[in-house]
Structure 1
Amino acid sequence: MLTETVLHTERLVLRPLVATDAGALFAVFSDPEVMRYWSCAPWTGIAQADHDIAGAGEGLASGAMLRLGIELAASGELAGQIRMHRFDQQNRRCEVGYALGRPYWGRGYLGEAMKAMLDHGFSALDLNRVEADVDPRNAASARLLERMGFEREGLLRERWIVAGEVCDTAFYGLLKSDWDERRSR
């Protein structure tokens, strides 16, 4: 059951979001630098964080989405979130998305969280494929995906219009067989 999902890594706890996370989540999603390549504009009010947390809970309860907070195990700080969503049960695939607060960039937290989430997705959720769409200008996100074994599979031109700016999407995919091979090395 998704609602009970808590994943532990060496430095992180990936856990369901709760109401008290609103301030930290707002700090992440209201930062224009964090949101530069996101598919929506930066948040402007704490109510958006409350709404997002409620939606995360509903997604967990229905099985439509696994959105987990990225918490630093040592301090309990919420650094960001990672999610699997748009599940296609018949084809055993989903999309992955993530956001990390700027103070936590460059420390390897997102790679650690991604590895745990992919392990969980390919084992416990029996996924065969995980997909990601990234603004091609977001070099850091593309590097993360490629380090995890994702392959760039195509470019979707002018897929998003965010705050009046037309943006392309680089489409990435990772297969369970590729993940298993990487993990066995």
Structure 2
Amino acid sequence: MAIVLEFTEIPALETENFHLRGMTLKDAPNMYSFMSDKETMKYITPHPIETVKELEASIKNSLENFKQQKEIPWVIINKQDEQVIGMFRFHKLHTWHQKTEMGVVIHKDFQQKGVMTEILPKILEFGFNTLGLNRMVGDIFADNKGSKKLMEKFGFHKDGILRETDIDGERFYDTVVYSMLKSEYQEGGPMKSRGEISLAD
């Protein structure tokens, strides 16, 4: 049986230090600083966006996908100064198969400071308990040690390696696939050793 997304607006999510709200076109100028940065985007795409207008088109596409129940895009806001410091999205959302993939970009000034360590438990709770998903996936470039460590610390299962899935114009990259099932989440929660987490994200 397919899950049903009963909301017409992107739900807001809260953690102690961060606020996730639905992405809008007005966020494009603030998002541009990290979405266009080649170093920040190196584990996502070798060809980051080059203009605010291009980013606006991408946001429009994400919002259209949300209307079609194929994606849920958020911006990540630092509560201390209300600065947009990243984005997170459920993409390739499939209501019939009850699964999604996760995508995240964090501003370079906020990397390796525990942002995703704080946010991911809320994301998993929302995905499994509120949406009723059965499977959540993180596809990660093999060189992305920080994200791999994050997945493993939260108890994600390493499904395998997809060989040479992407190219940056010169070099091919492998993708490591991690997943968590609802049954696994219910058995142990997102972090079985919350106090032991210390990682780069």
Which interval holds the TM-score relative to the shorter structure? over 0.9
Amino acid across the alignment from 2:106: L
Instruction: Classify the secondary structure of the residue corresponding to 2:159.
Output: strand
Alignment counterpart, residue 171 of structure 1, candidates 177, 191, 195 = 177
Look up the match of 1:75: 81
Contact persistence 2:136–2:180 (CA under 8 A): yes
1:71-91 Cα shifts (integer Å, max 9, x gaps): 112211111111111122232
Q: Does 1:96 align with 2:102?
A: yes
User: Partners in 1 of 2:8 and 2:142 — Cα distance?
Assistant: 31
Does structure 1 conserve the Cα–Cα contact (< 8 Å) formed by 2:100 and 2:135? yes
Q: Is the 8 A contact 2:159 2:178 kept in 1?
A: yes
The whole-number CA distance in structure 2 between the counterparts of 1:42 and 1:91 is: 30
* Aligned 8 A contact 1:82 1:114 in 2: no
Deviation at 1:51, TM superposition (A): 1.3
- Partner Cα distance (2:61, 2:123) in 1: 19
Alignment correspondent of 2:197: none
Write the deviation string for residues 28-74 of structure 1: whole angstroms up to 9, x where unpaired. Answer: 11111111111341221111221122122212222110111011122
Question: What's the TM-score, normalizing by structure 1?
Answer: 0.92
Determine what percentage of the aligned residue pairs are the same residue: 26
Extract unaligned runs of 5+ from structure 1.
none
Corresponding residue for 2:142?
136
Whether contact under 8 Å (1:70, 1:80) holds in the other structure is: yes
Pairing partner for 1:14 from 8, 20, 24: 20
Counterpart for residue 64 of structure 1:
70
User: In the aligned structure 1, how far is the partner of 2:10 from the partner of 2:135?
Assistant: 23
Residue 158 of structure 2: aligned partner: 152
Q: What residue in structure 1 maps to residue 51 of structure 2?
A: 45
Which amino acid in 2 is paired with 1:90? W
What is the DSSP-based 3-state SS (H/G/I as helix, E as strand, rest coil) of the residue aligned with 1:31? coil
3-state SS in 2 of match to 1:159:
strand
TM-score computed with the length of structure 2 as normaliser: 0.85
For 1:181 and 1:124, the matched residues in 2 are separated by 17
Q: Residue 112 of structure 2 corresponds to which residue in structure 1?
A: 106
How many correspondences in the alignment?
185
CA distance in 1, matches of 2:129, 2:112: 28
- What letter corresponds to residue 93 of structure 2 in structure 1? F
Cα distance in 2 for partners of 1:107, 1:130 equals 24
Partner Cα distance (1:134, 1:28) in 2: 18
Out of 32, 42, 63, the residue aligned to residue 36 of structure 1 is 42
Q: Distance in 2 between matches of 1:163 and 1:31?
A: 17
The runs of 5 or more residues in structure 2 that have no matched partner are 1-6, 193-201
C-alpha distance in 2, partners of 1:142/1:153?
12
Task: Give me the whole-angstrom Cα distance separating, in 2, the residues matched to 1:51 and 1:58.
Answer: 11
Contact 2:69/2:95 (<8 A) preserved: no
Give the CA RMSD over aligned residues.
1.7
Aligned equivalents of 2:97, 2:24: Cα separation in 1: 31
**Aligned AA for 1:129?**
R
